Amino acid sequence: MPLRKWLASALTTVVVLFTAFVSVGLTAPADGPFSIVITPVFVRLDRSAIEQSRARVLGFDVDVKIGSMRIHLGWSAVPISSLTTKTEAGLL
């Protein structure tokens, strides 16, 4: 089997498995052993979000749970935490 055909088959398999994995995760109950939760975020400006540089506008949060392990991803079109006019004294 030529390399090009093998790579096409492998890529197709990965795409199909990834799609199945995400589909099962999105439809699984939250207390199940595997789940994916996607939450849209309009504005997140609470004190802890600002302190931990998680303040954002127009984004989404993705929480993936596999057994007892949890993975969190937050994405924002406008990350508020990077919009600052403060400069550190040592930089200038």
| Bridge partners, 36 (sequence order) | 64
Q: What is the pTM of this model?
A: 0.56
The residue that leads in pLDDT, 28 or 85, is: 28
Q: What is the rounded distance in angstroms from the CA atom of residue 91 to the CA atom of residue 30?
A: 46
Tokens matching residue 69: 């392990």
Percent of the chain with pLDDT over 70: 71
SS3 content of the chain, % helix, strand, coil (to 5): 35, 35, 30
Torsion sign (Cα): 24, 28, 31, 32: negative
Length of the chain: 92
pLDDT digits (tens, 9 = 90+) for 32-72: 888 888 888 787 666 766 666 666 778 888 888 888 899 88
